[in-house]
Amino acid sequence: MSVSVLYMSMSLDGYIAGPNDEPDNPGGDGFMRLHDWYGFEAPPPNTKGSGWGAHFIDEGNATGAVLAGRRTVEQVDHWGGNHHGVPIFVPSHRPPGPSVANYPLVTYVTDGIESAMAQAKAAAGDRNVLVHGAYTAQRALEAGVLDELQIHQIPVLFGGGRRLFEVLPSRIELEIVRVIDTPEATHIRYRVRR
Residue 187 has pLDDT above 70, yes or no: yes
Q: What is the pLDDT of residue 46?
A: 42
Q: Where are the domains of the chain?
A: 4-192
CB 81 within 8 A of CB 93: no
Note the pLDDT tens digit of each residue in 154-165: 999 999 999 999
pTM metric for this prediction: 0.87
d(CA 61, CA 84): 6
Rounded to whole angstroms, the Cα distance separating 182 from 2 reads 29
- CATH class, domain 4-192, is alpha beta
Q: Per DSSP, which regions of the chain are E strands?
A: 4-11, 15-17, 65-68, 88-91, 106-109, 129-132, 148-154, 162-163, 174-181, 186-192
Strands (E), 114-173: 129-132, 148-154, 162-163
Gap between the Cα atoms of 189 and 178, Å rounded: 5
Query: How far is the C-alpha of 184 from the C-alpha of 153, rounded, in Å?
Result: 9
Q: What is the total residue count of the chain? A: 194
Strand pairing class (148-154; 186-192)? antiparallel
Give pLDDT tens digits for 46-101.
444 456 666 666 776 779 999 999 999 988 889 899 888 999 999 999 989 888 99
Nearest to 37 by CA among 47, 25, 48, 51: 51
Stretch 25-36: mean pLDDT: 91
Average pLDDT over the chain reads 89
C-beta of residue 143 within 8 angstroms of C-beta of residue 136: no
What percent of the chain clears pLDDT 70, i.e. is strictly above it? 90
Q: What pLDDT, on the 0 to 100 scale, is given for residue 41?
A: 46
